[in-house]
A and B are shown apart, each in its own frame.
Chain A
């Protein structure tokens, strides 16, 4: 089983809609969790970290469910500019790879007018 799994989508939603993505992980030792955004043919950029208590940044809300081993990203009032691929990433402390993150394949979001 792959360590980080995401539904690749695409998710096609109209402007103004609310959309949510989940990401499941298999290693219970995973400690830190992130959502990255990647535009077509560009590098990933950190969108937000995911804290145990859940956190919000404007229209974006991230949640962590350790018992079920998944994280989620909720986008409210979708904008056309939200169209991108959203990558889930996690850090596992028992790896030897420094702070290297393990990424999912990403979920593609297309917001339409």
Chain B
């Protein structure tokens, strides 16, 4: 296992469409996080899973956003009815403890 992977790496979509991103964490990591990062900002926490349980959601995560980690392994983040303000880099990270390992991110552009 060489690290956290994310797919796709880039996504261009039209406003109003739904998009889904996938994250495969480091296999022995039981914690998985989603972050969002826009230009000039640091990563902002969206949600956190311990195994398959989603334990925390940021208020940044509107009702249009949903995340799952069905078997405690990979995770998906879905955005429904995308808006231009959703354009950002979506980063997944995994950890065993406090040190997070990030994936390469999915860059979303909403036109």
Contact = CB atoms under 8 A, between A and B. Distances in A.
Contact of B42 (A42, A96, A100, A105): A105
Contacts of B97: 99
B56 A97 contact: yes
Nearest to A105: B42
Contacts, number: 60
Interface string B31-57: 101000000111111001010000110
B48 A100 contact: yes
B72 interface: no
Contacts of B99: 34, 46, 49
Interface residues of A, number: 26
A43 B100 contact: no
Interface of B: 31, 33, 40-45, 48, 50, 55-56, 58, 91, 95, 97-105, 107
Interface of A: 4, 8, 32, 34, 41-46, 49, 87, 89, 91, 95-106
14 contacts: A8-B40, A43-B102, A43-B103, A45-B102, A46-B99, A96-B56, A97-B48, A98-B33, A98-B48, A98-B50, A99-B98, A101-B98, A105-B41, A106-B41
